[in-house]
Copies of this chain bind each other. A is one copy, B any other.
């Protein structure tokens, strides 16, 4: 029994009840959304029996964010990756994906699943590829075994590039950056070498069988997502999206939950169209987007280029945002990159939640506004997405001012003015004063 099958039978599961509470919605509404395929609960039964706290991902819920982590063949340190996972969750990641491609993939995955309470996603192809000399040596059985093994470990959702068909590959010739999805490029290489159709497409029903058994949620991977603004919204991308729509339908027929992965690199003016198209073609299946990046010329700042696109995507209906860190296009993220990426995406998700008027979304912003107007600095820090950073910057500024000749430290010990302007030019202080003048009138 999966969450989807239960919902279709009219059953409200304990997970749906929990999600309803955390989203300020009715449990029956959650059930109906799951039944419509518009909401997924990535909760592998194995992980649920350990420490998973279930969450929902869907267009009617608070926007979720995912943090990608994992080692590479060039750099691997299991403890460091676990530390990063914990850091990402501490700053607010709703799910994590272990995208390891280096040594000890299996061990690291199990540790992550055992240690975290958020849903864990993987790309099962990576371990298959890592263990072979070349991806072209892979058989369908290799892959099915890997998926079953990873499902048994407790993985909550899996990215599989089942919708990239052989006939799509030629569309890539018009692109500037070809195929930029790792899974997509490996799948394409396999198809070319064997002159065969996509094995994940061919064995889709068998894969669904495994997914259903553990209630692993599908995350249909977009192997042909654009890797630059030039390639956005092209024939390759949309041909694959059409197949994703059909596979999503098929997966649901077989009792599975499905979400759809999305781009990538998209000019700002094409984001709304991309989201609307996905919703239409995939019948409202939750859209899980990577950014998108809206500007290709800012390596070192792609947490920002993509948080801009992510806000726009979530505003128009994307359900989960996969973070991008400042190291994107340059290297794998370190601890502080993870923090920067997570916070940028918490901002994007929150801005979209406020803009979509989700229940209680603006509550903390209003509390922050009051704390600012009352010069209550501790309350401001407590309400911040990153209290440590806010406190650090404030203290730095205050210490600098204290050392300065013009500081009126003694006179203003209670600091009822903003640290940017000082007492004479503090607008909020002036407003308090003029309100006093008005009362005295």
Hey, which bits of chain A sit against chain B, CB under 8 A?
72-76, 101-103, 126, 129-130, 169, 172, 176-182, 184-186, 188-189, 192-193, 227-231, 267-269, 294-301, 303-305, 307-308, 311-312, 315, 326-332, 343-344, 346-348, 350-352, 354-357, 362, 364-366, 368-370, 372-373, 380, 383-386, 389-390, 392-394, 396-398, 400-401, 404, 406-408, 418-428, 430-435, 437-438, 441
A178 pairs with B304, CB closer than 8 A: no
For A384, give its contact among B181, B300, B435 (CB under 8 Å): B300
A308 pairs with B307, CB closer than 8 A: yes
For A393, give its contact among B169, B326, B421 (CB under 8 Å): B326
A180 pairs with B428, CB closer than 8 A: yes
A186 pairs with B406, CB closer than 8 A: no
B427 pairs with A72, CB closer than 8 A: no
B424 pairs with A101, CB closer than 8 A: yes
B residues near A396, Cβ cutoff 8 Å: 331
Name the CB-closest residue of B to A134.
Answer: B424
B330 pairs with A393, CB closer than 8 A: yes
A328 to chain B minimum Cβ distance, whole angstroms, is: 8
In the complex, A184→B315 CA distance in Å?
A: 32
Name the CB-closest residue of B to A133.
Answer: B424
Name the CB-closest residue of B to A103.
Answer: B406
In the complex, A227→B364 CA distance in Å?
A: 15
B189 pairs with A434, CB closer than 8 A: yes
Q: List 14 A-B contacts (CB under 8 A).
A: A76-B406, A101-B421, A129-B424, A176-B370, A192-B438, A193-B437, A228-B366, A230-B362, A296-B364, A297-B350, A297-B383, A300-B386, A300-B390, A329-B380
Known: A267-B355, A268-B352, A269-B356. 6 other contacts (CB 8 A): A75-B406, A267-B351, A300-B392, A301-B347, A330-B390, A330-B419
A228 pairs with B356, CB closer than 8 A: no
Count of chain copies: 2
A435 pairs with B297, CB closer than 8 A: no
B389 pairs with A301, CB closer than 8 A: yes
Most buried by B among A76, A357, A370, A373: A373
B365 pairs with A296, CB closer than 8 A: yes
Name the CB-closest residue of B to A386.
Answer: B300
A177 pairs with B298, CB closer than 8 A: no
B299 pairs with A430, CB closer than 8 A: no
A315 pairs with B268, CB closer than 8 A: yes
For A372, give its contact among B182, B186, B227 (CB under 8 Å): B227
B residues near A394, Cβ cutoff 8 Å: 299, 330-331
B residues near A372, Cβ cutoff 8 Å: 177, 227-228, 329
A401 to chain B minimum Cβ distance, whole angstroms, is: 4
B residues near A369, Cβ cutoff 8 Å: 176-177, 227-231, 296
In the complex, A78→B209 CA distance in Å?
A: 70
Most buried by B among A177, A346, A418: A177
A298 pairs with B343, CB closer than 8 A: yes
In the complex, A396→B441 CA distance in Å?
A: 64
A32 to chain B minimum Cβ distance, whole angstroms, is: 25
A73 pairs with B425, CB closer than 8 A: yes
Name the CB-closest residue of B to A269.
Answer: B355
A372 to chain B minimum Cβ distance, whole angstroms, is: 6
Name the CB-closest residue of B to A314.
Answer: B268
B365 pairs with A424, CB closer than 8 A: no
A175 to chain B minimum Cβ distance, whole angstroms, is: 9
Please judge, given known A-B contacts A401-B75, A425-B72, whether A305 and B179 are in contact too, CB under 8 Å.
Answer: no
B422 pairs with A74, CB closer than 8 A: yes
Please judge, given known A-B contacts A72-B421, A380-B299, A393-B327, whether A268 and B229 are in contact too, CB under 8 Å.
Answer: no
B residues near A384, Cβ cutoff 8 Å: 297-300
A299 pairs with B390, CB closer than 8 A: yes
A229 pairs with B185, CB closer than 8 A: no
Please judge, given known A-B contacts A72-B420, A329-B420, A369-B230, whether A179 and B427 are in contact too, CB under 8 Å.
Answer: yes
A307 to chain B minimum Cβ distance, whole angstroms, is: 6
For A327, give its contact among B101, B230, B397, B404 (CB under 8 Å): B397
Name the CB-closest residue of B to A101.
Answer: B425
In the complex, A162→B73 CA distance in Å?
A: 63
